[in-house]
Amino acid sequence: MKLLICFGTRPEAIKMAPICLELNKRQIAFKLCVTAQHREMLDQVLDFFQLVPDYDLDLMQPNQSLNMLSSRILYEMDAILKKEQFDLVLVHGDTTTSTLVALAAFHGNYKVAHVEAGLRTYDKTSPFPEELNRQITGRISDFHFAPTQKAKNNLLKENVYESNVIVTGNTVIDSLNITLKKIEHGYNNAFIESLNETINFNKRVILVTGHRRESFGAGFENVCEAILEISKIYEVEIVFPVHLNPNVQRVVYEKLSSIKNIHLIAPLDYPSFVWLMNKAVLIISDSGGIQEEAPSLNIPVLVTRETTEREEGITSGCSILVGTNTTKIIHEAYRILTTHKGNDKMTNPYGEGLAAIKIVDFIQNNILINE
């Protein structure tokens, strides 16, 4: 049995790393391919989890269009899939990498397994292009590792065979637990030292992130207006690791520079971000991964998106969907900052950190055994 694991972005790497580690633990051989859709941020995660790719396509280019990236992934993967015969190709989530690798594998008549399968908004423009990426990857895939029962139900409604859908929880919780354990055992780095020196952690900390394409322009301006107002009203420290995309940087630095209690910082590596996230009392973000991680840390999230494919967090009260409505963001921040108790225990609807074990169990017992 030959396994190929492919990913290209930092979030994918974070969520696929526990599967790689579990395969290594069981001495199940696999090949790792990265497209490097994110280069520097991807490499940081690979280093942290001590993963070395067998294939590094290094496809990242400045201002690269999605079509150009897609064509290059198909071209490069074609060569790899012809060079080696794989019995199963594992992809993750909703990226251009996952969809195009799955398509390349389908063209080569290889089986595909989709990790974090079944998430849906059913609005192909939100999130863009992730929603349609998920649907396409779901149509191609033979095995579907759904993080929740709701995700499984979405797939069943799309006529996926129930025997091919396995509810596992989300592997991001596995990675979070691994990272928190390392931090508890003294892990430190230059990012964490710098944060300790520049942020007043005696005050309540609000963590902000943003990067979604559908919010470029007026959406990000509205979010920044809300952040500015919150900084004036409350005795808080607001920390905003600013995404490298120029559409984000231009607005954020124009609106929020030189405010004493707003700290605009460079993007953090993964363990430093987990360390900072664990210090926050509130997170304002459009990130999918943060919606999944924060409940394990008992931190509420204001989701600055119009829709979310992670409705379980909304239903359970761990997250609040606020869109890019300035007034709503301010109102919900007020409600949380005045009523939320840091010791309130949340139940994470995305699992307890056993997803990688369940995924590898299925591969070992249902695929390897048939070889």
Q: Which positions are catalytic? A: 94, 116, 130, 211, 213, 243
The answer to whether the beta carbons of residues 44 and 72 sit under 8 Å apart is no
Listed residue (163, 115, 156, 166) closest to 3, CA to CA: 115
- Token pair recorded at residue 209: 């992130």
The answer to whether the beta carbons of residues 301 and 320 sit under 8 Å apart is yes
CB burial of residue 153 (10 Å; 0-12, 13-18, 19+): middle
The answer to whether the beta carbons of residues 222 and 256 sit under 8 Å apart is no
- Token pair recorded at residue 247: 């559409």
Exposed e or buried b for every residue in 184-200, given b needs 16+ CB within 10 A?
eeebeeebbeebeeebe
- Token pair recorded at residue 275: 């360390």
The answer to whether the beta carbons of residues 213 and 130 sit under 8 Å apart is no
Question: How do strand 204-208 and strand 143-146 relate by DSSP bridges?
Answer: unpaired
Q: What are phi and psi of 205, to 5 degrees?
A: -110, 130
Q: What are phi and psi of 321, to 5 degrees?
A: -85, 110
Residue with tokens 């594992």: 90
DSSP 223-286: HHHHHHHHHHHSSEEEEEE--S-HHHHHHHHHHHTT-TTEEEEPPPPHHHHHHHHTT-SEEEE-
Distance of CA 337 to the CA centre of its chain: 26
Map residue 11 onto helix, strand or coil: helix
